[in-house]
């Protein structure tokens, strides 16, 4: 009996090893096929990117971009739903074989920035933002994300007969933040049920980076990008003539002291050896004339945290600091804090599972494990619901010093088109390998 069990175990192990060897062989063949098709698509992807770059649209106003995406998906025979969370587009591609549901996401919106880059497809678009006339530019690379995912959709739709599961292509509006009275973005898309019917098992997303060299992929397991919260502090003083400050309570001086006080929260009151954190005052509005001390003032800012416990501590410290500084000057501070985008959290198990795919696609030396960053991404709303992996794609021309590359959200932001093909290959192979690996795992569990 003992010999029989041992022999049975050996045969089972041999079967599993044989299946694994066959799967790896198929993967190599599959990867070669994907690479060849992605290379064939590259000119198309670049053309789409340049068209979208030249015609950027602000958050919740991505009408032409959404129409372009929807028409493309329909032309591929993909089931399409439009108008989700204002302008969002979702395409569903059902493979001919059963398997998990994988979601892929690209954000579509531009920014109120006047482009300064000297390229033939530079944006000349003008619009209105917060009541101001502004230029509009894809100053964060969302145009590349849309073009890459359009390419992935075309590539995978051509492999439908071999696709082991279902793919949801999520083209999302308003990642940069919806107009205050509207809401939107990933949070609203989740509320509208984009991760249901069919229910998504895992989601992947990428973000091009202007200071990472073309050909490289950057990732981090766990907390990757910060939670981004908004604070508003209204300082109530007492109006007086500018020549007689003793006759009132100056909210501008109080605000200046509050700004300094807020910085000591980060430098002196939280354990930065745990995680990074940032408190930044972005706006101060008060007063109407140079010789009048105003009655009140309002400041707003952002809080970036990578740890939920630190997030709660910093929120409380901001409230105490502002209120007590104001009180000491005879003023009053009213503090409001709105929790915004959560931490972008890469599921550790999923990251470990898919890391070999990223290394195979880009080459092991080109896949970089990074530290957490204090930027924020509303991809995190999807990751709160299902396991997700969000990584960065190099867009900086080779040989450029990162210190010389313009950062995101600036007029000089630039990314090299030659980096897009790697994005197409990475998202495609993540989809195919996730489907294959999870289907195989289920079979092994059944045999056991």
Exactly one of 62, 109, 187, 377 is catalytic; which is it?
109
If residue 134 lies in a helix (H) or strand (E), which one and from where to where?
A: strand 132-135
Taking every pair of Cα atoms in the chain, the longest distance, rounded to a whole number of angstroms, is 102
- Answer whether 335's CB lies under 8 Å from 315's CB: no
Side-chain half-sphere CA neighbours of 328 within 13 A:
12
Environment class of residue 225 by beta-carbon count within 10 Å: exposed (0-12), middle (13-18) or buried (19+)?
buried
Residue 175 designated active-site? yes
How far apart, in whole angstroms, are the C-alpha atoms of residue 172 and residue 222?
Answer: 23
Q: Helices 63-75 and 2-54, interaxial angle, to 10°?
A: 130
- Answer whether 259's CB lies under 8 Å from 290's CB: no
How far apart, in whole angstroms, are the C-alpha atoms of residue 55 and residue 72?
Answer: 17
- Answer whether 388's CB lies under 8 Å from 202's CB: yes
Task: Name 417's Cβ contacts closer than 8 Å, sequence gap at least 6.
Answer: 46, 49, 50
Q: Which residue from 435, 441, 378 is spatially nearest to 201, judged by alpha carbons?
A: 435
8-state DSSP, 371: -
- Answer whether 16's CB lies under 8 Å from 447's CB: yes
Strands, E, within 294-416: which ranges? Answer: 296-305, 332-341, 344-346, 367-369, 388-396
Residue 109 designated active-site? yes
The two beta strands, 202-213 and 97-107, are parallel
Provide φ and ψ at 218, rounded to 5°. Answer: -125, 135
How far apart, in whole angstroms, are the C-alpha atoms of residue 309 and residue 306?
Answer: 9
Exactly one of 175, 187, 250, 378 is catalytic; which is it?
175
> By three-state DSSP, how is residue 191 classified?
helix
How far apart, in whole angstroms, are the C-alpha atoms of residue 355 and residue 342?
Answer: 24
How far apart, in whole angstroms, are the C-alpha atoms of residue 293 and residue 332?
Answer: 15
Structure tokens at 43: 């000119």
Task: Name 166's Cβ contacts closer than 8 Å, sequence gap at least 6.
Answer: 92, 93, 94, 95, 99, 100, 101, 102, 198
How far apart, in whole angstroms, are the C-alpha atoms of residue 228 and residue 48?
Answer: 31
Residues with a catalytic annotation lie at 109, 175
């Amino acid at each position: 009996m003992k010999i029989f069990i041992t022999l049975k175990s050996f045969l089972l192990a041999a079967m599993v090893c044989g299946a694994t060897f066959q799967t790896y062989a198929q993967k190599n063949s599959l990867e070669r096929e994907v690479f060849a098709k992605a290379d064939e698509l590259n000119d198309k992807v670049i053309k789409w990117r340049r068209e979208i770059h030249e015609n950027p649209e602000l958050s919740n106003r991505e009408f032409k971009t959404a129409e372009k995406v929807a028409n493309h998906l329909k032309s591929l025979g993909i089931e399409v739903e439009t108008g989700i969370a204002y302008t969002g587009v979702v395409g569903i591609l059902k493979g001919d074989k059963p398997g998990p549901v994988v979601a892929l996401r690209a954000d579509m919106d531009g920014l109120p920035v006047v482009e300064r880059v000297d390229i033939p497809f530079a944006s000349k678009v003008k619009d209105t933002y917060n009541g101001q006339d502004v230029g509009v530019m894809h100053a964060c690379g969302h145009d590349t994300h849309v073009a890459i995912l359009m390419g992935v959709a075309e590539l995978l739709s051509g492999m439908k007969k071999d696709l082991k599961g279902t793919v949801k292509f999520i083209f999302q509006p308003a990642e940069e933040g919806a107009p205050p009275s509207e809401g939107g973005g990933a949070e609203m898309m989740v509320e509208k049920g984009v991760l249901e019917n069919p229910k998504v098992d895992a989601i992947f997303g990428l973000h091009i980076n202007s200071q990472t060299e073309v050909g490289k992929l950057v990732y981090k397991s766990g907390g990757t990008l910060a939670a981004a919260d908004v604070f508003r502090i209204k300082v109530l003083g007492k109006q007086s003539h500018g020549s007689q400050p003793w006759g009132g309570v100056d909210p501008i001086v109080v605000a200046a002291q509050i700004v300094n006080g807020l910085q000591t929260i980060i430098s002196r009151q939280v354990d930065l050896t745990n995680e990074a954190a940032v408190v930044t005052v972005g706006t101060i509005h008060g007063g109407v004339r140079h010789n009048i001390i105003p009655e009140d003032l309002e400041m707003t800012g952002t809080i970036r945290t990578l740890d939920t416990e630190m997030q709660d501590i910093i929120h409380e410290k901001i409230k105490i600091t502002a209120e007590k500084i104001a009180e000491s000057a005879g003023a009053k501070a009213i503090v409001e804090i709105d929790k915004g985008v959560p931490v972008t959290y890469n599921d550790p198990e999923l990251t470990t599972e898919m890391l070999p795919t990223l290394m195979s696609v880009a080459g092991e030396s080109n896949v970089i494990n990074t530290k957490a960053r204090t930027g924020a991404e509303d991809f995190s709303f999807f990751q709160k619901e299902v396991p997700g992996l969000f990584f960065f794609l190099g867009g900086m021309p080779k040989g450029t010093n990162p210190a010389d590359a313009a950062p995101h959200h600036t007029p000089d932001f630039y990314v090299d088109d030659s980096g897009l093909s790697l994005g197409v290959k990475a998202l495609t192979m993540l989809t195919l390998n996730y489907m294959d690996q999870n289907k195989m795992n289920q079979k092994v569990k059944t045999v056991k």
